[in-house]
Structure 1
Amino acid sequence: MQPPSPSPPPFYWGETPEDEYYKSQNVRNSKSYFQTPNAKIFTQSWLPLNQPIKATVFMTHGYTSDTSWCFQKICIEYAKWGYAVFAADLLGHGRSDGLHGYIGDMDKAAATSLFYFLDVRRSEEYRTLPAFLLGESMGGLITMLMYFQSDPGTWSGLIFLSPVFVTPEAVTPSKLHLTMYGLLYGLADTWAVMPDFRMGTKVIRDIEKLKILIANPKRYAGKPRVGTMREVVRVTSYLQQNFEKVKVPFFAAHGTSDGLACHSGSEMLYEKAETAKEYKCLKLYEGMYHSLINGEPDEAADLVLADMKAWIDDIIQVV
């Protein structure tokens, strides 16, 4: 008889209670629900302790993820650097409203998180500080939509980690499948029947970190839903045709061996954006996979974090 599998730890860092862990990182965390016109979403903040706040950073996680597991490692790092960080679980993810794993309207999902971000951005406490949007993976798609939905001058810059701007052919949803399901007059939009590609090759390089990511109790583990994949196809096409509308400073990081999002998407953004050349930064990391912070060996992830810190510390001096 096989012994029972050990229970996963309560937090991605292990057993240490949250308050104790955040204090050890010189960060203060808070959690709350926020009512938007579209839905109620779960939000978190990570603020630096014992140092002045340099700027605000509003972060969006990727598909199947949420703000309460490994994604918050990125949030905590920025807070340790002196930035006030705010994030929300996307619709259909984590503790926010919506069918788990379903984003049938990415414009709506972007507008919902943006409603919360702007509430903080315009508050008395933060309105005079530089403000940045950050998106990882599919969160990069949604972050770009937020930027396009915002008034000019709202954001000081954009930060992208492995953004899904172009998908490899092997993981691009089949047009035949989408057309067939589309013929069912929307009945199939929420069906979890699309081919599952998330944990395939060249997404997570460090196997021990893969085990931690999978242990996330709020992770969506089902097959991709039809409407979510339809929106990925639609929005990637839309963004590729509108990159020239990007005019603010940005930082884009991408692994050259990313099996989920082509680094050509980040290169396309760099080439087409109207941002002044000295204010746009593209970092390509040779041999790295899709998850640059939570899926790579520590020394590789630390390199990406160091580049991110250097860029934002420099850019806040000029925005």
Structure 2
Amino acid sequence: MALVQPDENVNYQEEFITNSQGLKLFTCKWIPKKDEPKALIFICHGYAMECSITMSSTAMRLVKKGYAVYGMDYVGHGKSSGLDGFIDNFDSIVDDCSDHFSSICENEENKGKMRYLLAESMGGAVALLLDKKMPNYWDGAVLVAPMCKIADDMKPPAAVVYVLEGISRLVPTWKSLKLTEDIIDLAFKRPEIRDEVRNNEYCYKGPPRLKSATELLRASTDIEQRLHQVTIPFIVLHGEDDKVTAPEVSKELFNVASTKDKTIKLYPEMWHGLLYGEPLENIEVVFADIIKWLDERTKRGNTRSELVNKVETEQLPLNKNNKL
């Protein structure tokens, strides 16, 4: 099941915060009770999804391995403010994540800890744009079936995009026509998980609203043009039978990204929902790859830890050259 209740070894907390536009955002965190977290992981959830229920099993797997995990529902998603499933501006999602996640990283108890982004589907676009916004701030990204480009065979003609953008300016919250299969049926292999998502009142069901569709296309196009500029260390994981985001796009990201620290894992016969939508034996394989990748980099440490010691020892002022 996607929903996993915290046990006695996990400190789970929820809090509403207010973003720069005055909207309330739901946030949550899973922290190991007994030991100091060895690193921080920030969840970037997918379109129409949320953190505290659908991503709880993912968070619990990670926290039991010693990581502190933080989540936030975007505006229009989950328990946060906004019209369900409505994305007025994709950049605002990135700004909200950047503000909240960086504020956690900059807490005194977290200085020097490594910072990772764990992103699923549309969250992959959020993670890559977070790295673009704050280059060299994040120590790595786990990209699960990421939306980082519209596959060529799925991309609408330019004329259709032009018309869609025009209509969305007039009626931005209207729902687009349902032209494909139910995305829940396409994303999750296990029937019980499909039922769980459908019964989750905090998951948006239905066709994308017109402005949401154009914003998703805009964000994807922006990232597509900059795949070669991706410098963040990453592991990208994709099911070869994914019908929601194309595995070929993850292959392209791996091939053209500038970073030297990049890994790709492709899983035969697996679908889109790798983190909780597959049979348990498949999920175990996926998380073994994720934990191995995280542990290897966490053990190496980071250059920011060295800078923390230097700043404290030599009492150096923080500036643009040595910002932590």
Q: Provide the TM-score with structure 2 as the length reference.
A: 0.86
Q: Is the 8 A contact 2:231 2:258 kept in 1?
A: yes
2: distance between equivalents of 1:100 and 1:111?
19
Q: How far apart, in 1, do the equivalents of 2:230 and 2:151 lie?
A: 24
Query: In structure 2, do the counterparts of structure 1 residues 225 and 177 end up closer, same or farther at CA, with 3 Å as the change threshold?
Result: farther
Match of 2:142 among 147, 159, 162: 159
Q: Per-residue deviation at 1:72?
A: 1.9
Q: Partner of 1:192 in structure 2?
A: 175
Q: Structure 2: 5+ residue runs without aligned partners?
A: 303-324
Q: How does 1:302-313 map to 2 (within 5 A)?
A: 302-313=284-295
Q: Which one of the candidate residues 26, 39, 54 is aligned to 1:70?
A: 54
Partner of 2:254: 270
Superposition map of 1:16-35 within 5 A: 21-24=5-8, 26-35=9-18
Which of 9, 12, 36 is the matching residue for 2:3?
12
Q: How does 1:183-222 map to 2 (within 5 A)?
A: 183-184=166-167, 186-195=169-178, 197=180, 198-199=182-183, 202-222=186-206
* Structure-2 change in CA distance of 1:144 and 1:191 (3 Å): same
CA contact (8 A) 2:73 2:79 kept: yes
**How much identity, in percent, do the aligned residues show?**
28
**1:211 Cα deviation after fit:** 1.4
Letter paired with 1:12: L
Matched, 1:122 2:113: no
- Cα offset, 1:190, TM superposition: 1.4
- Change in CA separation of 1:270 and 1:168 when aligned onto 2, cut-off 3 Å: closer
Q: Distance in 1 between matches of 2:16 and 2:58?
A: 21
Q: Which amino acid aligns with 1:308?
A: I
Map Cα deviations across residues 194-226 of structure 1 (whole Å, 9 max, x no partner).
436452654211112211222211111132111
- 2:272 paired residue among 279, 290, 293: 290
Deviation string, structure 1 residues 113-146 (Cα, Å, up to 9, x no partner): 2110011011111121000111101111111111
CA distance in 2, matches of 1:57, 1:83: 7
Structure 2 equivalent of residue 6 of structure 1: none
Equivalent residues, number: 299
For residues 95-128 of structure 1, the C-alpha deviation after alignment (integer angstroms, 9 at most, x for no partner) is 1122110112111111112110011011111121
Name the amino acid aligned to 2:292.
Answer: A
Question: 2 CA distance for matches of 1:128 and 1:167?
Answer: 37
Task: Supply the distance in 2 between the matched residues of 1:51 and 1:187 (Cα, whole angstroms).
Answer: 53
What is the TM-score of this pair, normalised by structure 1? 0.87
User: Aligned letter for 1:221?
Assistant: K
In 2, are the aligned partners of 1:157 and 1:249 still within 8 Å (CA)?
Answer: yes
Amino acid at match of 2:269: G
Secondary structure of the structure 1 residue equivalent to 2:108? coil
Match for 1:103: what amino acid?
Answer: I
Please tell me whether residue 238 in structure 1 is matched to residue 213 in structure 2: no
Query: Residue 95 of structure 2 aligns with which residue?
Result: 111
What secondary structure does 1:75 align onto?
helix
The CA distance in 1 between the partners of 2:91 and 2:84, in whole Å, is 17
Deviation at 1:155, TM superposition (A): 0.8
Structure 2 match to 1:138: 122
Query: Superposed, which structure 2 residues align to 1:247-266 within 5 Å?
Result: 247-266=231-250
> What amino acid is aligned across from residue 204 of structure 1 in structure 2?
F
Structure 2 distance, partners of 1:87, 1:139, is 12
Going from structure 1 to structure 2, the CA distance change for 1:225 and 1:251 (only over 3 Å counts) comes to same
Q: Secondary structure at the match of 1:22?
A: coil
Judged with a 3 Å threshold, the aligned counterparts in structure 2 of structure 1 residues 230 and 286 are, in CA distance, closer, same or farther, namely same
* Whole-angstrom distance in 1 between the partners of 2:155 and 2:138: 31
Deviation by residue 1:215-263 (Cα, 9 ceiling, x = unmatched): 2111111321111111221111211211222222111100011000001
8 Å CA contact retained: 1:173, 1:194: no
Contact 1:181 1:189 in 2 (8 A): no
| C-alpha contact (below 8 Å) 1:201/1:259 kept by paired residues | no
- What CA distance in whole angstroms lies between the structure 1 residues aligned with 2:157 and 2:26? 32
What letter corresponds to residue 312 of structure 1 in structure 2? L
The CA deviation at 1:185 is 7.0
Which amino acid in 1 is paired with 2:27?
A: T
Q: Give the counterpart of 2:66 among 50, 58, 82.
A: 82
In the TM superposition, residue 302 of structure 1 has moved relative to its aligned partner by 0.9
| Equivalent residues of 1:140, 1:160 under 8 A apart | yes
Match 1:47 to one of 8, 15, 31 = 31
Q: Which runs of 5+ in 1 are unaligned?
A: 1-8, 14-20
Cα deviation, residue 184, structure 1 = 4.0
